[in-house]
Amino acid sequence: MREIVRLKFHPLLCAVAVAATLALHAAAQAAPPATPAVPAAPIRIGMIDGLSGPFANAGEAVVRNISYAIDRINARGGVTLPDGKHPLQLSTFDNKLGVEDSLVQFRQLTDQRIPFLIEGNSSAVAAALIDAVNKHNQREPDNRVLFLNYSAVDPALTNEKCSFWHFRFDASADMRMQALTEAIKADAGTRRVYLIGQDYSFGRQVAKAAREQLAAKRPDIAIVGDELHPIGKIKDFAPYIAKMKSAGADAVITGNWGNDLTLLVKAARDAGFKAKFYTFYANSLGAPAAIGEAGVGTVRAVAEWHPNAGTGAADSPSDVFYQQFRKRYPQARDDYMYLRMQVMIEMLAKAIEKAKSADPKAVAYALEGAHYQSAFHDATMRAADHQLIQPLYLMQMQRADSGGIRFDNEGSGYGFRTERFIPAEQTVLPTSCKMQRPPR
């Protein structure tokens, strides 16, 4: 027979076992759940610029470009610091393109302890912000701010107003004018030039640079008009175009941007004014469509890059880069890419990694002399004045179906082709900057 084994449980042992089980269950109930990994704190960038009013479209284009650049870095995991990877994060502050509003927004930015400030659509605002940043950083060394400038091109900002806390990623007005006047120098058909610009520091500097450089390069050219108008206030430029026609101008030089440029060239088109336009920003938002057929072969612009700068091959890095941007922003109205803004954010990210810190002073020292290189662009941040040295392109407007270009602007049917490539070393101008640097 099979032996039957009977197990007998001691009452005391059973009680102990039950108590232990209950204690373990209670402890499990009381223990906090496993803490999820806390994401790394973002490195914040504050943009102060016009997001309402007559130049809102320019501000919105900047937001798209900066957001695109930030997303590219974050898709790679963000910026690497000793404690891990940190994403970049953009916050926007609407200054309505006014100086006083900018200073109010700057106080909000510093209250939020945002270490990196970006701005660019007004040189007057940039000048005020440089002063504000200098004073703030001296007053609050534990809450410093570094100012990265993507478009404010008044030469004074990297000359007499230069600051350790300010870096410019666009060519100055003098550098851009150098490219335009080289084209005018070679154009024997240009003999009577009309200057028109916006009445603030940038517009005045453009006119000054044009007069000086034309006198040196083409003393035979007559300047038949030199006019400044209120920025963002003129709705109809027809009276200005009438003056140009009356003066017999065969070329116009302007630094106008935004609606002030769009409305100016639209008035020229409507009046049948056939002069050549030498501009800083005719390839910008809305301008090609406004200029239309009248601009073909006559309108020129200058920039650090343009969509048709590539070779046209299927694997052209420039073309691929632009097409990726268009895939992100497929609407025609969003079709304006600023390469310098991509360069600025990439250089900032690398400087933070080199400094092993997001401290503005450490990052500023890391940016001095920093080099950016991609498959189609090469730039260096000059330490002496914090001016980015990079190539420039002089572009001529063409029809998209002419065979000379691959990409038009904003679905307008018009785009730009390279007329002249100016290597970085040929864009360099001397600086009068006497920079005061804090101790390392």
Residue with the bigger pLDDT between 357 and 7: it is 357
Mean pLDDT of the chain: 91
Sequence length of the chain is 440
The string of pLDDT tens digits covering residues 67-106 is 999 999 999 999 999 999 999 999 999 999 999 999 999 9
Tell me the chain's radius of gyration from C-alpha atoms.
29
Task: Provide CB contacts within 8 A for 54, sequence distance 6+.
Answer: 232, 258, 259
C-alpha separations of 362 from 145, 165, 202, 357, 358 in Å: 11, 11, 31, 7, 7
Least confident of 129-138, 181-190, 373-382: 181-190
Query: Is the model's pTM score more than 0.85?
Result: yes
Least confident of 179-188, 239-248, 291-300: 291-300
For the cut 80, the answer to whether the pLDDT of residue 24 exceeds it is no
Nearest Cα residue to 427 out of 173, 204, 123, 254: 173
Structure tokens at 200: 């603030």
Task: Provide CB contacts within 8 A for 273, sequence distance 6+.
Answer: 241, 244, 245, 267, 294
Q: How confident is the model at residue 125 (pLDDT cuts 50, 70, 90)?
A: very high
pLDDT at 29: 57
**Residue the block writes with tokens 């007053």:** 139
Q: How confident is the model at residue 32 (pLDDT cuts 50, 70, 90)?
A: low
Q: How confident is the model at residue 201 (pLDDT cuts 50, 70, 90)?
A: confident
Q: How confident is the model at residue 8 (pLDDT cuts 50, 70, 90)?
A: very low
Backbone region of residue 320 per phi and psi (left: phi > 0; alpha: psi in -120 to 50; beta: other values): alpha
The string of pLDDT tens digits covering residues 204-232 is 999 999 999 999 999 999 999 999 999 99
For the cut 70, the answer to whether the pLDDT of residue 9 exceeds it is no
Structure tokens at 365: 């020292």
**Could you tell me if 409 and 416 are in contact, meaning their C-beta atoms sit under 8 angstroms apart?**
yes
pLDDT at 5: 38
Distance from C-alpha of 273 to C-alpha of 31, rounded to nearest angstrom: 80
Task: Provide CB contacts within 8 A for 192, sequence distance 6+.
Answer: 221, 222, 224, 247, 248, 249, 250, 251
DSSP string of 34-101?
Answer: PPPPPPPPPEEEEEEE--SSTTHHHHHHHHHHHHHHHHHHHHTT-EEETTEEE-EEEEEEE-TT-HHH
Mean pLDDT value across residues 359-385: 98
For the cut 70, the answer to whether the pLDDT of residue 20 exceeds it is no
Structure tokens at 422: 């100016």
